[in-house]
Amino acid sequence: MNPSSSPSWKAKHAWREIDRAEPPKRPAAERVSDFREIYGGFDEATVREQASRCIQCPYPTCVQACPLDSPIPELLSLVADGRFKDASAAVAFRPLASAPLEIDIATSLTFLR
């Protein structure tokens, strides 16, 4: 591997080096007239970057606390690799109403289509 093409941070510690991104929030003047989602989606590069950041978290309490035993690490890996349709298919037959992470992923994937 060419040393100049390697990242400046170690991949194992990307969660410390990549800042957490907050989704864009719709203006209040726009939100008062509907009941749509407050937050917008990310572009593909941001979704992939955040998934690669999140999958390396040293304290994945979301995995341990998930009442549906969702395949969170697998979903994050697929999204980080840009395999959005595969990630969407992995949650397509799960009860999304009670799974916030899956809803977030499904929402993000919808914006990317």
In a domain, 56, yes or no: yes
Q: Is residue 65 part of a domain?
A: yes
Question: Quick one: 78 exposed, middle or buried, by C-beta within 10 A (0-12, 13-18, 19+)?
Answer: buried
CB 56 within 8 A of CB 11: yes
Give the pLDDT of residue 29: 94
Domain that holds residue 31: 11-112
Q: Does some domain include residue 22?
A: yes
pLDDT value of residue 105: 58
pTM over 0.75: no
pLDDT: which is higher, 26 or 102: 26
The C-alpha atoms of residue 48 and residue 2 are separated, in whole angstroms, by 23
Amino acid 6: pLDDT? 41
Residue 4 lies in a domain: no
Residue 35 domain-assigned (yes or no): yes
Under the banding of pLDDT at 50, 70 and 90, the label for residue 100 is low
% pLDDT > 70, the chain:
69
The number of domains in the chain is 1
